[in-house]
Amino acid sequence: MVPLIAAADLDANPAFARLWEFVTRELVAEDASSLGKERERERNWRWRATRKTGGRRSRRGKVDGRDQERDDDEGDEEEDEEEDDGDGKGNKKEKRQSSDLSLDQHLHALRVARAKRRILCDVLDDAGAYFDVSAVSQSQSQDKMTPEADPSQSLGELVRVIAAYLHVNLIGVGSLLGEGGEDEEDLLYEDILRFKANIDPIANAVSSRLVEIESSLCALSNIALEHSDGSEDEREARAQSNMGHSLSGSIQTQLSRLSDLRDNLLPSSLTTLSTNLQQLLTLQRQLLQLQIQHLETSKHGVLSRYTMSNIAFLDTVAQTMALKAQVLLLEARIEVECSPQAERRREVIREKMVEVEKEDAELDDRISVLEGVLAEYEAADPDGTVMPRLGRRYKEIEEEMEGVKRDIEMLQRQAAKR
């Protein structure tokens, strides 16, 4: 048996709650092992809900009917079980067919049912507006009448209330709260009875609205078919042929057209699109090449000329700075040469020059004297024997002087030792 899930978890996940309700009530409820317990639990729940809301419904005069219903349910419990056995034998094929369906098929059927319920809610809302319009037309047609409740207007409000209730139950807000859902049914009991009593005009309004919706959808489908490919004569012939078709026929025609587009026109269109895209890319590449060439011939040439002009300007500035530096050096030299220190240095230099000139003159005089002496020696000793003898004698004198120096140093050392 499928375990129960907490109500808080179901409230937190309404979509899973609706799926859980469908699985437990429609799929698993047909299991023979838990069918009796499920029905007994349902009867007990109904009985408790009836006792809880019995006081409020007693003012409406419906307590006896609910008690009688509970008694009938309790009295017919065995008969229901027997009928379930009989129906189980008779509906064995239907159960086998339902068990053969996969979960995807069940979910698809559930989605279809929910879509139908949503369409019903929307159409009921539109039907309420239809009753409002009819009420306005009746009030305009009846002049100078006593004011009284308009039945069409009340039917419009009733239809909107029932549509809102169905919408709430469809989204799963009140269906998961057990007793809360029963309270809502009790609050809307009179409205439900009125809805059932006025089912004929409501059904007429709903059918009229459905016919209008189908007509508008057919018109839209015809417009779509009119704007399809083909010549003007073919479009007119197709539009005239489709004027009497139903919505399903129009949809089938559109589906066939879409399949034809997907199988035939779409591949060729994609091929054409890819070819055009390649051509556009080629043209874009050529355009970029032309732009690059234009930049190289125009903008890059201008930049090179601008760079060369900057180089020439900087060269001129460098030469000017060099000349300016030379001028500044000359000015500094002039200032240095004209200073008092430079004058004093020049005076000193002049004095030294005079002294050097005097020494040069003296040296010249001595040289001339020596030359005269040499001339006399040469005249006195033409063979050159006197000079070697003088040299030897001078050498002997120097040796004697060296011996005397050594003796003096020895005596000094001896005197120092004493």
State the pLDDT at residue 247: 67
Q: Is residue 2 part of a domain?
A: no
State the pLDDT at residue 283: 95
State the pLDDT at residue 323: 95
Alpha carbon 28 to its chain's center: 46
Would you say the pTM of this structure is higher than 0.75? no
Residue 282, burial from CB neighbour count under 10 angstroms (0-12, 13-18, 19+): exposed
For residue 163, count other CB atoms closer than 10 A to its CB.
19
Q: How does pLDDT run across 195-235, given as a tens digit for each residue?
A: 888 888 888 888 888 888 888 877 777 776 665 555 455 55
Element (H, E) at 76: none
Q: How does pLDDT run across 396-414, given as a tens digit for each residue?
A: 999 999 989 998 989 888 8
> Can you give the residue range of the structural domain that contains 214?
103-139+149-245
State the pLDDT at residue 15: 76
Cβ 206 vs Cβ 127: under 8 Å: yes
CA distance linking residue 301 with residue 157, whole number of Å: 85
Alpha carbon 117 to its chain's center: 39
Q: Is residue 82 part of a domain?
A: no
Total count of domains within the chain: 1
Q: Is residue 284 part of a domain?
A: no
For residue 392, count other CB atoms closer than 10 A to its CB.
10
Q: How does pLDDT run across 175-189, given as a tens digit for each residue?
A: 444 445 556 667 788
Average model confidence (pLDDT) across the chain: 73
State the pLDDT at residue 59: 43
Cβ 163 vs Cβ 169: under 8 Å: no
CA distance linking residue 304 with residue 325, whole number of Å: 31
What residue type is 34 in one-letter code?
Answer: S
CA distance linking residue 5 with residue 77, whole number of Å: 28
Q: Is residue 8 part of a domain?
A: no
Q: How does pLDDT run across 51-106, given as a tens digit for each residue?
A: 655 544 444 444 444 444 444 444 444 444 444 444 444 454 555 555 556 777 88
Res 50 pLDDT > 80:
no
Q: Is residue 180 part of a domain?
A: yes
Confidence band of 144 (pLDDT split at 50, 70, 90)? very low
Residue 123 contacts by C-beta under 8 Å, 6 or more apart in sequence? 206, 209, 210, 213
CA distance linking residue 19 with residue 26, whole number of Å: 10
State the pLDDT at residue 329: 93
State the pLDDT at residue 184: 62
Cβ 182 vs Cβ 53: under 8 Å: yes
State the pLDDT at residue 78: 45
State the pLDDT at residue 311: 92
Q: How does pLDDT run across 335-382, given as a tens digit for each residue?
A: 888 888 888 888 888 999 999 999 999 989 988 888 888 788 777 777
Cβ 160 vs Cβ 125: under 8 Å: yes
Q: Is residue 95 part of a domain?
A: no
Q: At what angle do helices 77-90 and 92-100 cross, to 10 degrees?
A: 70
Q: Is residue 45 part of a domain?
A: no
Mean pLDDT confidence for 149-170: 74
State the pLDDT at residue 164: 84
CA distance between the termini of the chain: 144
CA angle at 324 for the pair 323 and 326, rounded to the nearest 5°: 65
Q: Which of 83-87, 155-159, 300-304, 342-346 shows the lowest mean pLDDT across its residues?
A: 83-87
Q: Is residue 416 part of a domain?
A: no
CA distance linking residue 400 with residue 203, whole number of Å: 170
Nearest one of 108, 111, 97, 115 to 30, comparing CA atoms: 97
Task: Name the H helices within 101-177.
Answer: 103-141, 151-171
Residue 7 φ/ψ region, left for φ over 0, alpha for ψ in the -120 to 50 degree band, beta for the rest? alpha
Nearest one of 189, 170, 165, 176 to 50, comparing CA atoms: 189
b/e per residue, 350-361, with b = 16+ CB within 10 A?
A: eeeeeeeeeeee
